[in-house]
Amino acid sequence: MNQWDIFLAPYKQAIDELKMKLKGIRKQYQSAGISSPIEFVTGRVKPIPSIIEKAGQRGIPFDKLSEEMYDIAGLRVMCQFVDDIDTVVALLRSRNDFEVVEERDYIKETKESGYRSYHVIIRYPIETLDGQKMILAEIQIRTLAMNFWATIEHTLRYKYDGVYPPQIQTRLERAAEAAFLLDQEMSEIREEIKEAQKFYSEQRSER
């Protein structure tokens, strides 16, 4: 194993465990016949070139990475409705298997790019052969509309290295506005949608 493999092993383990735990929350809601605030969960260990690039930009030495780079282990929780995000954040705060160390609300304080999401940074214990190791992980909680916009913008960011041609910039701003309006519209008809989903899942389970 090289130095990176050794360094990243606990992060990989954390992603596997946390993905399972967050998916477990969804299953518990489903078993109770209550609509879940969690639609789906993804997770990744930050690719080594991205770690090196970010560390270089922020002047973080290798031996400080585990303390100063929060998103080496990154999870995303996607929700249907904006209100679900508060429910998920409350669930995370109430857990005993990790500690919330920081929260960043980019929904109330939308980033200049138009990015919206709620970030929760946790300190999570990993059991290893050498004992317990604490690692930091970032959980991004967002609606499907926020995720759609962020995914597209992230791809374009790489293509244009963060400097967009004016036409793309305008379109991204309009798309961010459209995603915001979509979230608002969906919230307005939330109860209708939930009832329809409950009816649909009951019909399916009767078949």
What positions carry a catalytic annotation?
Answer: 138
Q: What are phi and psi of 103, to 5 degrees?
A: -130, 140
For residue 46, state whether it binds ligand 0O2 (rule: CB under 6 A): yes
Q: How far is the CB of 5 from ligand 0O2 (least distance, A)?
A: 19
Other CB atoms within 10 A of residue 65 CB: 16
What is the C-alpha to C-alpha distance for residues 32 and 20, in angstroms, rounded to an integer? 18
For residue 104, state whether it binds ligand 0O2 (rule: CB under 6 A): yes
Q: How far is the CB of 40 from ligand 0O2 (least distance, A)?
A: 17
Judged by CB under 6 A, which of 8, 15, 22, 71 binds ligand 0O2?
Answer: 71
For residue 119, state whether it binds ligand 0O2 (rule: CB under 6 A): yes
User: Which of 25/51 has CB closer to ligand 0O2?
Assistant: 51
Q: How far is the CB of 14 from ligand 0O2 (least distance, A)?
A: 15
For residue 54, state whether it binds ligand 0O2 (rule: CB under 6 A): yes
User: Which of 35/145 has CB closer to ligand 0O2?
Assistant: 145
Q: How far is the CB of 25 from ligand 0O2 (least distance, A)?
A: 22
Instruction: Report the site for ligand 0O2 in 147-206 (rule: CB under 6 A).
Output: 150, 153-154
Instruction: Report the site for ligand 0O2 in 126-155 (rule: CB under 6 A).
Output: 150, 153-154
For residue 50, state whether it binds ligand 0O2 (rule: CB under 6 A): yes
Q: How far is the CB of 79 from ligand 0O2 (least distance, A)?
A: 16
Distance, first Cα to last Cα, the chain: 51
For residue 103, state whether it binds ligand 0O2 (rule: CB under 6 A): no
Q: How would DSSP label each residue in 75-87?
A: EEEEESSHHHHHH
List contacts with ligand 0O2 (CB under 6 A). Answer: 46, 50, 54, 71, 74, 104, 111, 113, 115, 119, 150, 153-154
